Structure 1
């Protein structure tokens, strides 16, 4: 199918639901071959059906991203089949727990940081060289406003997303002379299961849908994007400017 991403290969983690699902669907609708990664096989199969219904193609990868060796094998498989990667959407993550820092259980802390930070780094490591081989590599790593607001009780999630942003900024600086463009995205409050868990009393109908948010993120994967090493804020629909250290 013809589109802005015809012939491109895109990897999307957390693709079985929410923003990841709808980004995968839209990437495919623009012609990209989508490598969809998630733990939930049923969700991946629903995504595959939706992609096929619009004439697209996907490769399904049922994988728990806590399996670091599995991430490495995925990178090797992409190398063997395509020899490159054009688009990375590092979307998978978890809320953890909203709690006073002193009350966070060690096992909850470890799992949250392992998924939100360690697996994100491992995905970056597994795809870095593949993205460098693309003539217009694009990497989008999901962040959150929590990384900057650091509200009470949000310390665990905030710290994990702040760490991801630091990785992204450094990665962007390492690749600044290349065609690769690396950015973070703050999707803002979105009608997702994670948001409902964090804000149980909130009316979800007052929030934008994952499909609406995905539509605003999609252009960051196109070849014409010039920005790199920035935080894209979906609510403001623009890149926010970081002040470089003196």
Structure 2
């Protein structure tokens, strides 16, 4: 980062519940305006009220970030409205302990299962990250990209869908850091008994 952000505008996906909600509130406490990309409108409205009690503005944008055109249009709308995008947070992908996750071996998974899972769990993060870089390159001060990848540090049997997508995200984050000096990308991995993701985010933006 070459200088301190003049603006504090954060774009978040997967941030209306649980860990993501905690991150949204933490960023609001740090003075960031919050833009929620979500179709979970009831939870988003409740979070918006909590954020605006803290002080910053909060905006809700229904958006499928895995869709190229929809994601680009939403990012452009946010920049036009607020002037800049300074932080992007992604928290996407059906967790292995969620209903609907295919707990199968690599050989047992069909090609369709691979494509369907990676289309959302991976491509949503890829789209958000590449657009974050594109928009933050306009900022003199760069920006922060925060991608969450729990459970993805090591390979585990029958978790091929998840660990493959997380491994790709890890490589994506590393590549962003190699290619850009003023944009800082982080891979956030929560671990039991250690600092929470929200606390890590607070340390990064302080």
TM-score tier by shorter-chain length is 0.7 to 0.9
The match for 1:221 is 205
Q: Report Cα offsets for 1:107-128 as digits up to 9, x if no partner.
A: 3322221112212111122221
Aligned length: 197
Contact 2:13 2:91 in 1 (8 A): yes
CA distance in 2, matches of 1:72, 1:138: 18
TM-score normalised according to structure 1 size: 0.72
Q: Write the distance in 1 (CA, Å) between the matches of 2:19 and 2:170.
A: 18
* Partner residue, 2:26: 26
| Whole-Å separation in 1 of the counterparts to 2:190 and 2:140 | 26
Query: Equivalent residues in 2 for 1:161-176 (5 A)?
Result: 161-176=166-181
Secondary structure class of the residue paired with 2:28: helix
Which residue, out of 115, 118, 138, partners 1:113?
118
Please give the TM-score of this superposition, normalised by the length of structure 2: 0.85
Q: Distance in 1 between matches of 2:104 and 2:134?
A: 38
Partner of 1:181: 184
- Paired with 2:55 and 2:79, the residues of 1 have a C-alpha distance of 25
After superposition, the C-alpha distances for 1:70-121 in whole angstroms (9 at most, x for unaligned) are 1111121123223321111122222342211122233332222111221211
Q: State the distance in 1 between where 2:202 and 2:118 align.
A: 27
Question: Which segment drifts farther, 26-35 or 4-13?
Answer: 4-13
Once the two structures are superposed, residues 30-86 of structure 1 have per-residue CA deviations (whole angstroms, 9 ceiling, x without a partner) of 211011112211111111011122223111112233433211111211232233211
Aligned to 2:148: 142
Question: Kindly tell me: are residues 124 and 17 of structure 1, through their superposed partners in 2, closer, same or farther at Cα, counting changes over 3 Å?
Answer: same
RMSD: 2.3
- Matched residue SS, 1:84: coil
Q: Decide which of 89, 101, 104 is 2:106's aligned counterpart.
A: 101
Checking the alignment, whether the CA contact within 8 Å between 2:188 and 2:197 is kept in structure 1 is no
> Gapped runs of 5+ residues in structure 2?
96-100
The aligned residue for residue 44 of structure 2 is: 44
For the residue of structure 2 that corresponds to 1:103, the secondary structure is coil
**In structure 2, do the counterparts of structure 1 residues 214 and 124 end up closer, same or farther at CA, with 3 Å as the change threshold?**
same
**Aligned match of 2:98:** none
Q: Which piece of structure 1 moves more, 77-86 or 16-25? A: 77-86
Q: Given that residues 140 and 220 in structure 1 are in contact (C-alpha distance below 8 angstroms), is that contact kept between their aligned partners in structure 2?
A: no
Q: Distance in 2 between matches of 1:39 and 1:60?
A: 9
Q: Secondary structure at the match of 2:10?
A: strand
Q: Which runs of 5+ in 1 are unaligned?
A: 190-206, 223-246
Distance change in 2, residues 1:57/1:5 (3 Å): farther
Cross-structure match for 1:123: 128
In 1, Cα distance between the equivalents of 2:79 and 2:7? 16
| Distance apart, 1:212 and its partner CA | 4.4
